[in-house]
Amino acid sequence: MRPPADAVAPVSQPLRGEQDPPGFPSDAARRPDPPPGGGRTAIVGAGPAGLTAAVTLARLGREAVVFEADDQVGGISRTVVFRGYRLDIGGHRFFTKVPEIERLWHDILGDDLIVRPRMSRIYYGGKFFDYPLRPVNALRGLGVVEAVRVLASYIHAQLFPVADERTFDVWVSNRFGRRLFEVFFKTYTEKVWGMPCSEISAAWAAQRIKNLDLMTALRNAVLGSAGAGRPAVTSLIERFHYPRLGPGMMWERCRDLAAADGVPTHLRTRVVRVLHDGGRVSAIDVVGPDGATRREPCDTLISSMPVGELVRAMDPPPPVEVLEAAGKLRHRDFLIVALIVNRDQLFPDNWIYVHAPEVHVGRVQNFKNWSPDMVDDPNVSFIGLEYFTNRGDALWQRSDEELIALGTSEAATIGLFSPDEVRAGTVVRMPMAYPVYDGEYEAHLQILRTWLDRIDNLFTVGRNGLHRYNNQDHSMLTALYAARSITGARLDVWTVNEEESFHEEIRGEAGENVRDRLTPMPVEGGLDGVLREAFAEYDAIALGGAFGIAAAALLALTTALLLWGPHDGFVPMLSLLGHYLFGYEVSWPGLLVGFVEAALGGFVVGWIVARLINLLTAMFLRDLERQLATLTTLEAVDGGRVDAG
């Protein structure tokens, strides 16, 4: 169900009572004829979205009931306990810019919501790289030759970007250079999604790493997030909130609080049919733990089940083209191999990204470093090796014993510990963990949205309910929207994580923006904004830095090769640079002098080139804007219209 486009303001949910809190959308942002708010609400799914809706409705005194197919609440945000040790499926930082979500976390968890330091690294080529990237660490790990290749590739991408950015590989290469894409993005991304990067929508790239490029990462690492007056991306966040006993602690408390207020949760109860008359849902059929099917009447339905499964459960069924679109939405499955290791501390990171193609594992979690209380024995560590897979493939079909052996072997391969240190292990499988952003998902999803919008009392929420890679806080916000809509507000859940006001953004001490998972944003500012977005300015500091590093690295590499090998014929020729670089000669001391001077000279040249390009671009834009203004005026007088492209 989707209300008018103007009903998209942020929500602030009161903890008790029916009154609207300050800042809640005004009457102008609401649908003029909201449906009755009374009656029974059925909630499908006891993950973050479903239980947020349950707690909200319970606190508003509404009748509701939750149905969860699994035997545990929390969805992918659950906490699993194995031999007294706790594991977090996927790692869930509690971080948001939505004040009401943060207040809800603190209200429910209190002192059990602790602050933890963040540390993460990338494993590639037998080495560990700091993440976010730090220049000295990255250059030392890659080596001089590879670093020169990365910088040359980046400069080429800036000078000759690919115009068609519809796929992940092109989007990232345009911002980082092809070589850095191959080193730090390609392998890990293809592990996660199980398809070539050339088949992944650029929407995923924009959602994950918008506002970050190579020079931004280098500048933030060298100057700090406030350097150069630019916003810093979320990956630079160094602390986060986390429940003391894992994310499931939040959702178990939500279940208990909702039950205490009269909203129960039924586990191992699967929704198999949704009965409707084309405009409203009247009941759902559920299969309980005993295998018996029963009918549950409802006046409103909030569903966090995968939207494709929801559509296929509708009775009467939707048109064939809608069912076909539902069948084409894809998900990526996930499993985690958790190992108890007889060592007090394995590595300092919360998690490690594994980009190495020689192993299947994609990420390694160290649960003790998320919260010390996750592992109550100080002499052991509890880690999780995460594998991205599809149900039915060879990896998914392996037995738990085989997967534990695989995880143990691959952890040893990347140097985390030796196999004989493993005390015990377990496997947790999570089907339909991530909605897949392939090249066709938007078209299929739009067909489903159009059909579902006709059902007045149905709300789809959460990651799978919207087929959108929402963070936990965004999933919660969709549930708040749905719950408030039942009381009359009629907010649009589809706008969450679509507009800038819902992105994970915080203000740092210097006032900079810090973001995490983002979605593609519409260009703001009308035609003028479109032009300036299309002809973005070159960053003079970044281009100067690129020129300087490339010049210094090239000079150092050439000089070192001459010093190491018999290339006497080239020595006098290279020594001519001493006329331009004071004190330079083909010697080790001369190399150091030339390195510094080449870096400074390259920086100046790059800075000048960027300023000249920006000046010429500005002149061109002013002329183009004058022409468009004239054309617009003439078309308006003539009664025609102007096409922007």
With a cut of 60, say whether residue 25 has pLDDT above it. Answer: no
pLDDT at 290: 96
Q: Is the pLDDT of residue 560 over 60?
A: yes
- pLDDT average, residue stretch 262-268: 98
Residue 578 binned pLDDT confidence (cut-offs 50, 70, 90): low
The pLDDT of residue 486 is: 92
Q: 22 versus 312: which is more confidently predicted?
A: 312
Assigned token pair, 111: 């002192």
All CATH 3.50.50.60 domain ranges in the chain, comma separated: 40-111+243-329+438-500
For the purposes of burial, counting CB atoms within 10 Å of the CB of 18, is it exposed (0-12), middle (13-18) or buried (19 or more)? exposed
Instruction: Specify which of 14-28, 86-100, 373-387, 500-514 reaches the highest per-range mean pLDDT.
Output: 373-387
CATH superfamily, domain at 331-435? Protoporphyrinogen oxidase, mitochondrial; domain 2 (3.90.660.20)
pLDDT for 133:
67
Write down the CATH number for the domain with range 40-111+243-329+438-500.
3.50.50.60
621 vs 595, which has greater pLDDT?
A: 595
**Of the ranges 79-88, 175-184, 496-505, 533-542, the best mean pLDDT one:** 79-88
pLDDT, tens only, 81-118: 999 999 999 889 998 889 999 999 999 999 999 999 99
CA distance readout (Å), 414 to 45, 355, 361, 605: 38, 11, 10, 42
Q: Tell me: the pLDDT tens digits for 443-453?
A: 999 999 999 99
Q: At what angle do helices 99-109 and 472-486 cross, to 10 degrees?
A: 100
Q: Which residues does 622 contact at the CB level (< 8 Å), separation at least 6?
A: none
Any long-range contacts for 289-294 (C-beta under 8 Å, 24+ apart)?
none
Q: CA-CA distance, 237 to 214, in Å (whole number)?
A: 17
Closest CA to 546 of 163, 132, 153: 153
pLDDT above 70: residue 3: no
- SS3 call for 286: strand
pLDDT of residue 301: 98
What is the pLDDT at residue 443?
92
**Pick from 564, 555, 90: which is nearest to 350 by CA?**
90
pLDDT of residue 23: 30
| Highest mean pLDDT, choosing among 23-32, 208-217, 225-234 | 208-217
Residue 499 to residues 129, 432, 440, 490, 553: CA-CA distances in angstroms?
33, 26, 22, 17, 43
Q: H-type helices in 414-525, by residue range?
A: 441-452, 462-466, 472-486
Mean pLDDT in the chain? 80
C-alpha radius of gyration, the chain, whole number: 28
pLDDT digits (tens, 9 = 90+) for 125-163: 899 988 876 766 777 788 878 888 888 888 888 888 888
In whole angstroms, what is the distance from residue 121 CA to residue 352 CA? 5
Residues 583, 579: Cα–Cα separation, whole Å = 9
Where are the domain boundaries for CATH 3.90.660.20 in the chain?
A: 331-435
CB 553 within 8 A of CB 560: no
pLDDT of residue 236: 40
Across residues 12-28, what is the average pLDDT?
A: 33
More confident residue, 28 or 233: 233
Query: What per-residue confidence (pLDDT) applies to 601?
Result: 84
Whether pLDDT at 7 is above 60: no
pLDDT confidence of residue 149 = 87
pTM for the model stands at: 0.71
Closest CA to 270 of 40, 457, 71, 482: 71
In this structure, are residues 77 and 473 in contact, taking their beta carbons and an 8 Å threshold?
no
Among the residue ranges 217-226, 357-366, 606-615, the one predicted with the least confidence is 217-226
For residue 580, name the pLDDT band (cuts at 50, 70, 90): low
Strands 381-389 and 363-366: antiparallel
- Does residue 642 or residue 280 have the better pLDDT? 280
pLDDT-derived band at 38, boundaries 50, 70, 90: low
Say if residues 355 and 187 touch (Cβ distance below 8 Å). Answer: yes
Tokens of 61: 């005194």
The predicted structure's pLDDT at residue 570:
52
CA distance 75 to 306: 12
Sorted by sequence, the CB contacts under 8 Å of residue 270 that are 6+ apart come out as 67, 69, 286, 287
Amino acid 180: pLDDT: 85
Q: What is the DSSP string of 219-234?
A: HHHHH-TTGGG-PEEG
Q: Which residues contact 39 (CB under 8 A, 6 or more apart)?
A: 63, 298, 299, 300
Range with lowest mean pLDDT among 219-228, 336-345, 549-558: 219-228
| Helix/strand/coil for 439 | coil
Residue 200: name the closest of 179, 182, 192, 388 by CA.
192
**Would you call 209 helix, strand, or coil by DSSP?**
helix
Higher-pLDDT residue of 441, 628:
441
Q: For residues 517-544, give the mean pLDDT.
A: 54
Q: Is 343 helix (H, G, I), strand (E, B) or coil?
A: coil
Q: What is the pLDDT of residue 167?
A: 86
Other Cβ atoms within 10 Å of 101 Cβ, number: 24
Number of residues in the chain: 645
Q: What percent of the chain has pLDDT over 70?
A: 74
pLDDT at residue 571 is higher than 60: no
Q: Look up residue 301 and give its DSSP letter.
A: E
pLDDT at 29: 32
The predicted-structure confidence for 351-408, as pLDDT tens digits, reads as follows 999 999 999 999 999 999 999 999 999 999 999 999 999 998 999 999 999 999 999 9
CA distance 269 to 103: 31
